[in-house]
Amino acid sequence: MPVLKSVSSTFAAASVALAAMVGAPAFAQGGNFSLELNAARDAGEGCRLTYVATNNTGQDLEQASYEVAVFDQDGVVSRLLILEFGRLQADKTKVVQFDLSDMACTNISRLLVNSVSECVATGGGDANCMDGLVTSSRAEIQFGL
């Protein structure tokens, strides 16, 4: 009998935890805004960065943009950029390219998302695009928070 009580207590605790997760907002339970640095290729005298942005926030975004710090090979911040992704529907993926003029890709060691520049939900109001931000990189350049 004590085993059944122990199992039912565990089941009850798991049920409470599951109910709390189900009732939580999308960002809190893994709904996110993901940014992947998909590619970095030299383009003329500069570097072309290709990003894949996926809006899994559960809400349409009228505007989404991030401030990103660019670090050179010595770890020094060489510039701050605003990456504008524009309008992103919920559950939509968008590919966007940005050109960094006068900076070869091999001179970039790291890209850091410094802050949200703008994040507006459709219909007005700010959306929380930083807490649910997930970053990754397929390029040789580090990309993250």
Residue-wise pLDDT tens digits, 39-61:
999 999 999 999 999 998 888 99
Strands (E) in the chain, as ranges, are 33-43, 46-55, 61-72, 77-88, 92-100, 108-121, 133-137, 142-144
Helix (H, G, I), strand (E, B) or coil at 134: strand
Mean pLDDT of 79-87: 92
- 126 band by pLDDT with thresholds 50, 70 and 90: low
What integer pLDDT is reported at residue 113 of this predicted model? 95
What integer pLDDT is reported at residue 125 of this predicted model? 63
Q: Are strands 108-121 and 142-144 parallel, antiparallel or unpaired?
A: parallel
- 9 band by pLDDT with thresholds 50, 70 and 90: very low
